[in-house]
Each structure stands twice: as C-alpha cells, then as structure tokens.
Homo-oligomer: A and B are copies of this chain.
C-alpha cells in the first residue's frame, strides 16, 4: 500500500523550494496553484492506484528474454497504456512537440510518486524524456518531425546507449563505431551493456540514442558522436519499415529493479545498424550531457521515491506489530512497536531523510527551471551555476538516503524484513542501484569538488552557504523552544561546510588534486546534510500559517535531524582535512598481491 503524500509534496514545492518564483515568470504565469494541486493529486492517484500494486509482481516476474524478445511483467502493458493515455509522458516536453511544457519542479514531484509506485516502471519513461530532451535541443527538423511527437506521446520509448564493457565511468575508452553512408545516414557497429529498457514489449518501436566513434574521430571523448538508431526504421509517412540491425543479446540478472529490462545491445551484426547523427559529428558528448544532467536528478528522485515508500511500509508495520511493553505505555497487552523509543528513532531517521531528499531534489529542479526561464544573463548564469552545484548533491544524497532508509525499513520489520513476501527487502534491493548508475556517487562528489566549487572563483558556493546561514539565523531569531538545538547544530554544520569548502578550494588552487579527490565523498555528504538540515528548518519556519499539527511535525523533524544526523558533519570535516595522507599512502595493489 502506498499513499501519495500530496500535501507534503505541494508544501515543499511551494513553501520550501520556490515554486512561486516560477509562477511569477513569463513562461509559467498560467501555472496557478489549483492547477498544480490538480496535477499532483492526479499523479498521486495514478501512482497509488495503478502503479504501486504492480511493484511486487514485477519483482517476482522479471523481464525474461527469449528469441530476442523481452516480456515485461504481467499487467505492465496495460499500465503503460494507461500511463500514456493520461498524458503523463509529455509533462515537461514543449507544447510544439505535443508536450505540456510544465516546469521540471512539477515533473520532479510526479516522478517522485511514480518511483514510489515502482522504481522499475518509472525509470522507463525517464529515459524517453531524456531522449526527447536531446532531440528537442540538438536534432534536425526532419528528425524532430519523424520522432519527437511519438516519443512525447509515449507511443515509442527511448533509450540511452553509453556504456560498453571497457567503458563505464570513463567514456574515453568507448569503442562502438559509426561509418558514413552515401545518403547521409550511418552504419553503427558495436556492443553496449546495461541498456535500460533496451528491448521490451511496451511499444512498437524503440528509439536508441547511441554514442559511437567515426573512423576519423579524434581519440578520447572529443571523438564521440551521438546517433539515433530506431529498432524499426520509420517510413516517411510515419509507419514502421524494416527491422534495424540491432538486437538484445541478453538481459541482466540483477539484485533489484527486476521489472526494468537491463539489456546487452548488439549493433551491426548483419552489416550495420542504420543511424542518424544527432547534433554535430564528434560533439556527441555535449548532447548526451543534456540528457545526463536531468537524468542525474531523475536518479536522485528514484532514491527519494523508494525512501518514501519504504518509510510508509515500515510505519504501517510498526503501528500494527505488537511486541513488549514500551516505557510509560499504560495500554493493555503488548505495545505497538511504534511506541518503543528505538523504533521511533528509526522511523524519525527514515522520515527526515525522505523529506531532506525531497527538498533537495525539488530545489535542484527549481534551479534548472529558473535557469530556463531566466530573462537576463545574470539570472541565467546564477541559476545555471546553482543547478550545476545542486545536481551532484541531488543525485548522491537522495540515493544514499534511499539505501539507508530502505535498510532501516528492513530493520524495523525484524525477521519479517528479511522475508521477500513482506516487501521491505525489495526496497533495499531496488534502491541499491541508484548510488551507482548515471555516474557513481563517488563521481558526483568529484564533479562537485573539482568542477562545481570553483565556479565563479568559489563565489557561487560561498553565496549558497550564506543563504543557508540566513536560515540558521532565522531559526535562532524565532526563539521557539520547540526547535531545541536546531539553530546551534545547523550553524555548526555550516561552519564545517565552510571550512571544508575553503580546504577544497585551496587544495585545488595549490594543485593538490589528490588531496581534494581523497575528501570528495565526505565533502559532498557535509554539503548535503547541511543543506538538508537548512531545508527542513525552512519548512518548519514556513509552516507558521499551517495547522498546528503540521507546524509541530515539521519542527520536530527539523530538530531531530539537526540534533542527530547533522552531528556527522564535524567528524566528516576532520576526515576531509586529515585523511588524504593515509588514503594516498595506501597501496591497494600491494594488498592484493
């Protein structure tokens, strides 16, 4: 069972993450509050009633491959049809292509709920949206005319083909090749692995976005081009033509998201798959990054979605299950375990992490939207930098939290949590991929430290920290005893973040790259925790007009997170400052030999 937390989502969008900034913009002035509420409530209904009941079925069934065909789990074809008929696939695509032109913030909110329903289902359309994004920004008018509308409607789905066995995090090593045909098309050859929804039975055609090298391309990532390779060639009248030379050679047996077919794709076994260039030759990586940045946020939202579902699942169990007697419980018989302090500790940790993940994801979506609607260069630059700063945090923190929350959920279930039928284990098995794909969280940390902190000579990150400090000051000034030590703990974590930031900027300025890389992972966590604490506190501060119970809930949550989890930052800061030496002195290869 899943209940879409529509009210909390709406509050977070409106009062924590600045949806009103967008509503004031020329691009989204029609986005009235009641339209927002209607979209959220309908997306939530679809997630809870249509998607969520099929999540466990898909886990058990998987996506078997036979004779080159992948069968999706029972009920998924009907689910997908209902999904596209609801118009959900084109939320953010431009109205010209048949989309609804809604901001990323709303799409992020809807995506959260769909991922709570089923991460394995929601990931498919996410990739199609990435393909739409790349085509809208980089494809020729002919290509757009042929593919865009059907991808936006969801009649066809899209994929991203980057990874090869030897080229995972490092795309320099990419080997798939493309040869020019006389007619301007290309012949594509090579093997791609880990291709999500590379083959399936949900749509009649599948549009693969494939990275490959031309024969005369420069080495490394500057010699990579992006091609569109449809499963079935498309005639000029839009009907399907002959089968292209691409096939699924295998489906992976994974720890989780069993409903999502992860395929090995083979291109060009029979003379070459026909492909069309997207953007310019050798500039494919730039096109791919368009898709990847939004995909990083989308993966963060997977962590968030699974966390919310796992929290609800554990909460329901804790209220029903009775064992022992909680201190002070005067009721009959055994207490619901939800009354035991140690269980409450875990539930609070789950709830706070989920809400932090939500606020960080929506804040990142807000920055992306603001960059898109900006009307002058200063604003565009500011919000682009903010989106760049937040993207690695919004990918890594919610996905780490997804794993932590799902694992706590298992713990609350006790022995039942280890039994698959209970459902709690699936959340951990599903969530565990999110810190890995779309750039591992280690790579996100490196991106944050090496590429994002130095933006505007460090001025952007410092301004960001100052904004967070203003929230801590506001908590302090509010003088509400219910906040406990929130203001002090938040201020302390922000000092840790500031100190760690200075260390990172100095290390890079002095060319101590290995020092910066050694501390990147704890640095990202400090930044994410401090940001999370500030956003929870902001939620409590902005709840003044809300019902008293909501205000009390949000204050309690901010307080608990700041008094418990934020305590990590002091240790992490020391870690960043101290551990580079031992890490660099560690000769892992000598250990193995």
A interface with B by C-beta (< 8 Å): 163, 166, 168-170, 172-173, 193-194, 252-256, 315-316, 318-319, 322-324, 327-328, 334, 336, 338-348, 351, 403, 407, 410-411, 414-415, 417-421, 425, 428-429, 432-433, 435-437, 440-442, 445-446, 484-485, 489, 513-514, 517-518, 520-522, 549, 553, 556, 559-560, 563-564, 566-575, 578-586, 588-592
Question: A556-B585, A583-B560 are contacts. A436–B411 as well, Cβ < 8 Å?
Answer: yes
A342 with B442: CB separation less than 8 A: yes
B414 with A336: CB separation less than 8 A: no
A432 to chain B: which residues have CB within 8 Å?
407, 410, 418, 425, 428
- How far does the Cβ of A446 sit from chain B's closest Cβ, in whole Å? 7
B436 with A520: CB separation less than 8 A: no
- How far does the Cβ of A456 sit from chain B's closest Cβ, in whole Å? 25
A113 to B144, CA, bound (A): 60
Pick the most buried of A344, A428, A566, A572: most chain B CB atoms within 10 A of its CB.
Answer: A344
Question: A563-B579, A579-B564, A592-B315 are contacts. A342–B436 as well, Cβ < 8 Å?
Answer: no
Q: Which 5 A-B pairs have the closest CB atoms?
A: A567-B571, A338-B588, A560-B582, A255-B425, A563-B578
A316 to chain B: which residues have CB within 8 Å?
592
B560 with A586: CB separation less than 8 A: yes
A346 to chain B: which residues have CB within 8 Å?
442
A315 to B591, CA, bound (A): 8
Apart from A168-B414, A338-B588: 4 A-B pairs, beta carbons within 8 A: A169-B324, A319-B589, A489-B574, A559-B582
A342 to chain B: which residues have CB within 8 Å?
442, 445-446, 517-518, 520-521
B583 with A170: CB separation less than 8 A: no
A319 to chain B: which residues have CB within 8 Å?
588-589, 592
Residue among B334, B441, B571, B580 making CB contact with A570, cutoff 8 Å: B571
A411 with B440: CB separation less than 8 A: yes
Q: Which residue of B lies closest to A338 (CB)?
A: B588
A566 to B194, CA, bound (A): 37
A415 with B163: CB separation less than 8 A: yes
A28 to B445, CA, bound (A): 53
Q: Which residue of B lies closest to A347 (CB)?
A: B588
A571 with B574: CB separation less than 8 A: no
A344 to B514, CA, bound (A): 11
Q: Which residue of B lies closest to A492 (CB)?
A: B574
- How far does the Cβ of A1 sit from chain B's closest Cβ, in whole Å? 11
A2 to B78, CA, bound (A): 47
A575 to B567, CA, bound (A): 7
- How far does the Cβ of A55 sit from chain B's closest Cβ, in whole Å? 16
A591 to chain B: which residues have CB within 8 Å?
315, 347, 351, 553
A485 to chain B: which residues have CB within 8 Å?
574, 578
Residue among B170, B256, B336, B428 making CB contact with A418, cutoff 8 Å: B256
B254 with A418: CB separation less than 8 A: yes
Question: A173-B323, A425-B255 are contacts. A563–B575 as well, Cβ < 8 Å?
Answer: yes
Residue among B169, B435, B520, B556 making CB contact with A323, cutoff 8 Å: B169
Q: Which residue of B lies closest to A169 (CB)?
A: B323
A256 to chain B: which residues have CB within 8 Å?
418
A339 to chain B: which residues have CB within 8 Å?
588-589
A484 to chain B: which residues have CB within 8 Å?
578, 581-582
A563 with B592: CB separation less than 8 A: no
